[in-house]
Amino acid sequence: MKHQRPKYFWNRKYIINPNFQFNLIIPCLVFTFFVFITFYAVNYFYLWKFYCDHGLGAIQNESNIEVILKEYFFALNIFFLSSGILTLVLLITGGIIFTHKVAGPMFRLKRHMLEVASGKTQNQIYFRKSDHFHDIADAYNEQLKYLINR
């Protein structure tokens, strides 16, 4: 017997309003990129300054400190690359999930309003517990109730 995942996972479309969602996520990514570059540049600058101030570049035979500094340069590069990739993945995933909780209810409200306007439904609208804007759904339902009872 094949294991099946819950339907809600596969049926959910996370990019509902690309213009809104990407306009929110991209500035966060750019800011994070500049923070990483700044931290990397500062670390590299002070490490290079230490390297040059102590005349380690002029030594013909590699001393222990020079080997340690080269290893530190390599470790610094690996650390910033791996943490940058991890941060990028987490920011994109978290950004899409967060913006989905904002764009999803607005998409659903718009679709419901068009259905009410075309006469397809007169039902109230409800959002998922984890969505934002429950107060807007409540206000819309009150308005719909008023218009139906008029």
Q: Rounded distance, CA 82 to CA 87, Å? A: 9
Express the helix, strand and coil content of the chain in percent, nearest 5 each. 75, 0, 25
Most confident segment among 13-17, 54-58, 145-149: 145-149
Convert the pLDDT of each residue in 54-98 to its tens digit.
666 555 566 677 777 778 888 888 988 899 899 989 999 999 988
| pTM for the model | 0.66
| pLDDT at res. 11 | 63
Nearest residue to 20 (alpha-carbon basis) of 140, 101, 139: 101
The amino acid sitting at 140 is Y
Residues 130 and 134: their CA atoms lie apart, in Å, by 10
